[in-house]
């Protein structure tokens, strides 16, 4: 597709001596008020260069550009050059691109096939998959899809929390109060109850903590009984996790969790010693980071057991050696910022120059209306319960309103789960928020169901027309029929979609796509209400149907990048 900004920059560079086209392109703006043009160029910066008042410079440039076939008109307003694109030519180029691209519209080859790793979700084994985990899961899944769309080869890793002292606690609790039959019947809720009981009892009897540490040490040394219990807890947990992932249509290339790297940590410790980075502190091994205004990186505890940071370093080295990544992205809550700063710095001190290719993508926290979630106290909202309730409510609405659908249950699942995921991706990822059932089950306003309904509406228009869209070519149609204000605003938003996808990937920010598909949905609905699409005039109808198809296809592609399905009937 033609890059309008680049084209304008090229034309402007012919009018401005002493400024490169790339520098000019960076200054080009898109006015918020359409009456001021499609693009604007401010001339303040040119006053010193050209020794002339900015309004006079703008007048000269506007006069020079007036003859270009790219524009319907060019005018200067004070120090700005306001440019109005030729609507008909612009619509032809945009609609042709969507028709040619189809499901691939918006994709690019920016990444050139280089490998990117995205680590996301990463729940803890034997603990509930709660609403807090949805953030890493859906943000990470969307970042994977965005990087795939811009031409990278993406490896999706679910770095399971399947190691550490918590398993000493879980095994200790199971031995004291556990029942195999209960665990097999309802694994996560039963194991959670043991974990909660452990912490309640440990407050009365602190020796339980020592027992848990000793149990984990035996697990680290591969003792048979502890290893078998740990493996059983892991398998039962994965069954439950998989059910939730299936509901959301999310999958991974690797479930290599912390335990996978246990045999790779001795080499890391040896390298740290050889490079003189390890120091002893009260029996523990640390890397002193005070020079960089950070607390020490604790590498091993006084009993010799490993910590998250040791396993993360081993994992990063393994991934670089195995995948030779261009980027190694970690989608993990912002409360872990210091942890990532510490171990990225340790990698740098180890001489691993690729440490700078490791990227922490933080996100805000989810809390409950009654306070912060706490697994230890059993205060959590299970993610599966949230998804099921969203589906149930959607099903009730579909039946109550007599929604046109071939399969009530399938549509309820698509819309209900889509609503939960869309809400998670609709705000800037760094924002904290309070989980509320009323909010998550509210489908009014700028929501997933609104966007999905708009897609279904466009599909309905195309079905009712009975036209073969594949035979409609923008080159053969009279596109003056889609040059009215409502239609043109929709065309402009569709045109920007590939740029939006690239921007969202660069910023690791799915909400950029979410906001844009809402804008397209709103613009299509305005076009739908302002214009009569299925007119008797065949030329007019076909031009408007091609625009309807382009809006439908772009919304579908945008929802796909968010991991959300687009129903054709709703």
Per the structure, how many domains does the chain have? 2
Q: Is residue 425 part of a domain?
A: no
Torsional class of 12: left (φ above 0), alpha (ψ -120 to 50), beta (otherwise): alpha
Q: Is residue 364 part of a domain?
A: yes
Same-domain status, 81 and 133:
no
Taking 60 as the threshold, does the pLDDT of residue 247 lie above it?
Answer: yes
DSSP-assigned letter for residue 364: P
Same-domain status, 77 and 178:
no
Q: Is residue 409 part of a domain?
A: no
Q: Which of 130-134, 193-197, 297-301, 413-417 has the lowest mean pLDDT?
A: 130-134
Q: Give me the CATH number covering residue 183.
A: 3.40.50.620
Give the whole-angstrom CA distance, residue 426 versus residue 451.
Answer: 12
For position 285, what pLDDT does the model report? 93
Same-domain status, 224 and 264:
yes
Q: Which of 140-149, 314-323, 432-441 has the lowest mean pLDDT?
A: 432-441
Distances (CA, A) of 393 to 153, 390, 411, 437: 38, 5, 12, 11
Q: Is residue 505 part of a domain?
A: no
State the catalytic residues: 127, 130, 133
Q: Is residue 545 part of a domain?
A: no
For position 475, what pLDDT does the model report? 86
Give the whole-angstrom CA distance, residue 64 versus residue 347.
Answer: 55
Taking 80 as the threshold, does the pLDDT of residue 477 lie above it?
Answer: yes
Domain that holds residue 349: 115-368
Write down which residue in 64, 85, 106 finishes a domain: 85
Q: Which of 367, 394, 392 is nearest to 381 (CA)?
A: 367
Q: Residue 395 in contact with residue 416, Cβ under 8 Å?
A: yes
Mean pLDDT of the chain: 92
Same-domain status, 133 and 72:
no
For position 227, what pLDDT does the model report? 93
Q: Is residue 525 part of a domain?
A: no
Give the whole-angstrom CA distance, residue 163 versus residue 183.
Answer: 19
Same-domain status, 272 and 128:
yes
Write down which residue in 348, 368, 388 finishes a domain: 368
Instruction: For residues 492-512, give the mean pLDDT.
Output: 97
Triad 562, 566, 570: Cα angle to 5°? 140
Give the whole-angstrom CA distance, residue 288 versus residue 291.
Answer: 8
How many helices (H) and strands (E) are present in the chain, helices listed first?
21, 12
Same-domain status, 256 and 358:
yes
The separation between CA 524 and the C-alpha centre of its own chain, rounded to angstroms, equals 24
For position 132, what pLDDT does the model report? 81
| Residue 83 pLDDT level (bands cut at 50, 70, 90) | very high
Same-domain status, 22 and 132:
no
Same-domain status, 255 and 347:
yes
For position 148, what pLDDT does the model report? 98
Q: Which of 69-73, 187-191, 364-368, 436-440 has the lowest mean pLDDT?
A: 436-440
Same-domain status, 171 and 306:
yes
Taking 80 as the threshold, does the pLDDT of residue 437 lie above it?
Answer: no
Q: What is the pLDDT of residues 158-215, one digit of tens each?
A: 999 988 788 899 999 999 999 999 998 888 889 888 988 999 999 999 999 999 999 9
Helix (H) or strand (E) segment spanning residue 360: strand 358-361
Q: Give me the CATH number covering residue 77.
A: 3.30.1360.70
Q: Is residue 204 part of a domain?
A: yes
Give the whole-angstrom CA distance, residue 162 versus residue 479.
Answer: 59
Q: What is the pLDDT of residues 517-541, one digit of tens each?
A: 999 999 999 999 999 999 999 999 9
For position 377, what pLDDT does the model report? 62
Neighbouring CB atoms inside 10 A of 542's CB total: 22
Same-domain status, 61 and 135:
no
Q: Which of 225-234, 345-354, 467-476 has the lowest mean pLDDT?
A: 467-476
Helix (H) or strand (E) segment spanning residue 499: helix 485-507
| In 2-73, alpha helices (H) | 4-13, 21-27, 46-50, 54-65
Q: Is residue 387 part of a domain?
A: no
Same-domain status, 19 and 75:
yes
For position 523, what pLDDT does the model report? 97
Instruction: For residues 450-463, give the mean pLDDT.
Output: 95
Same-domain status, 12 and 140:
no
Write down which residue in 368, 400, 434 finishes a domain: 368
For position 496, what pLDDT does the model report? 96
Distances (CA, A) of 31 to 26, 58, 207, 242: 14, 16, 67, 47
Of these ranges, 14-23, 294-303, 354-363, the one predicted with the greatest mean pLDDT is 354-363
**Could you give the dihedral angle defined by the CA atoms of residues 11, 17, 19 and 20, in that order, rounded to the nearest 10 degrees?**
50
| Residue 1 pLDDT level (bands cut at 50, 70, 90) | confident
For position 378, what pLDDT does the model report? 60
| Residue 371 pLDDT level (bands cut at 50, 70, 90) | low
């Amino acid at each position: 597709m033609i890059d309008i900004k680049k084209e304008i920059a090229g034309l402007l560079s012919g009018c401005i001596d002493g400024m490169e086209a790339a520098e000019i392109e960076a200054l080009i703006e898109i006015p918020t008020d359409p009456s001021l043009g499609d693009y604007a160029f401010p001339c303040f910066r040119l006053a010193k260069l050209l020794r002339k008042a900015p309004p006079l410079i703008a007048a000269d440039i506007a006069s020079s550009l007036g003859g270009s076939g790219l524009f319907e008109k060019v005018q200067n307003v004070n120090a700005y050059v306001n440019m109005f694109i030729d609507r008909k030519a612009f619509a032809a180029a945009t609609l042709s691109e969507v028709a040619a691209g189809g499901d691939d519209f918006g994709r690019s080859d920016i990444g050139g096939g280089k490998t990117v790793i995205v680590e996301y979700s990463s729940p803890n084994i034997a603990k509930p998959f709660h609403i807090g985990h949805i953030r890493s899961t859906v943000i990470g899944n969307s970042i994977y899809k965005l990087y795939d769309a811009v031409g990278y080869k993406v490896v999706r890793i679910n770095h399971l929390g399947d190691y550490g002292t918590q398993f000493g606690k879980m095994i200790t609790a199971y031995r004291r109060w556990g029942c195999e039959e209960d665990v097999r019947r309802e694994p996560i809720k039963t194991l959670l109850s043991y974990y909660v009981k452990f912490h309640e009892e440990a407050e009365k009897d602190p020796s339980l903590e020592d027992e848990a540490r000793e149990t984990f040490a035996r697990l680290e040394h591969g003792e048979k009984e502890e290893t078998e219990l740990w493996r059983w807890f892991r398998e039962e947990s994965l069954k439950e996790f998989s059910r939730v992932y299936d509901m959301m249509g999310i999958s991974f290339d690797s479930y290599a969790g912390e335990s996978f790297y246990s045999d790779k940590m001795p080499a890391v410790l040896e390298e740290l010693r050889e490079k003189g980075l390890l120091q002893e502190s009260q029996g523990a091994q640390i890397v002193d980071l005070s020079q960089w205004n950070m607390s020490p990186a604790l590498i091993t505890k006084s009993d010799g057991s490993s910590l998250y940071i040791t396993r993360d370093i081993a994992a990063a080295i393994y991934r670089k050696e195995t995948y030779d990544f261009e980027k190694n992205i970690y989608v993990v809550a912002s409360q872990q910022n210091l942890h990532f700063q510490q171990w990225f710095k340790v990698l740098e001190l180890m001489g691993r120059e690729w440490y700078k290719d490791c990227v922490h993508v933080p996100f805000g926290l989810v809390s409950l209306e009654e306070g912060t979630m706490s697994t230890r106290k059993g205060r959590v909202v299970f993610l599966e319960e949230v998804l099921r309730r969203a589906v149930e409510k959607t099903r009730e609405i579909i039946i109550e309103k007599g929604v046109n659908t071939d399969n009530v249950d399938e549509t309820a699942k698509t819309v209900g789960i889509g609503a939960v995921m869309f809400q998670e991706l609709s705000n800037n990822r760094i924002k904290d928020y309070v989980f509320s059932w009323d909010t998550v089950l509210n489908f009014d306003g700028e929501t997933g169901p609104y966007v999905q309904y708009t897609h279904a509406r466009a599909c309905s228009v195309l079905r009712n027309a009975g036209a073969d869209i594949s035979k409609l070519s923008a080159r053969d149609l009279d596109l003056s029929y889609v040059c009215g204000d409502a239609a043109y605003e929709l065309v402009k938003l569709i045109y920007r979609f590939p740029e939006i996808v690239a921007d969202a990937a660069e910023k690791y920010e799915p909400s950029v796509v979410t906001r844009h598909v809402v804008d397209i949905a709103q613009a299509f609905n305005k076009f739908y209400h302002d214009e009569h699409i299925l007119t008797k005039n065949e030329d007019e109808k076909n031009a408007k149907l091609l625009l309807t198809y382009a809006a439908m296809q772009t919304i579908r592609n945008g929802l796909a990048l968010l991991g959300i399905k687009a129903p054709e009937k709703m």
